Amino acid sequence: MTGVIYVVQGILAVAVLLALYRAVLGPSLLDRVLALDVVLAIIGAALVLTMIVNHHTDHLILLVVISLIGFIGSVAVARFITERG
């Protein structure tokens, strides 16, 4: 099980680096929003992982909040860009 945890951590780290690469490089603002949305999703995954490792469920509420904040954030930026043209 410990080995699996390490593997999962490694995969998540690679994924978050790839997403951050796009967020830094991303030619447009929308690319960055998209990439940061993925970063948020990976943070959520990492939260679940810590809960599994430490056998508690205290961070679940954070997961709900994170997904809602990600939603509101990307919708707000998308609307802003549409309005501004």
Burial 28-62 (b: 16+ CB within 10 A, else e): eeeebbbbbbbbbbbebebbeeebeeeeeeebeee
- Does 32 interact with other proteins (rule: CB under 8 A)? no
CA dist 72 and 77 (Å) reads 9
Q: Is 18 in the site for other proteins (CB under 8 A)?
A: yes
* Positions that interact with other proteins (CB under 8 A): 1, 4-5, 7-8, 11-12, 14-19, 21-22, 28, 30-31, 33-35, 37-38, 41-42, 44-45, 48-49, 51-52, 55, 57, 60-61, 63-64, 67-68, 70-71, 74-75, 77-79, 81-82, 85
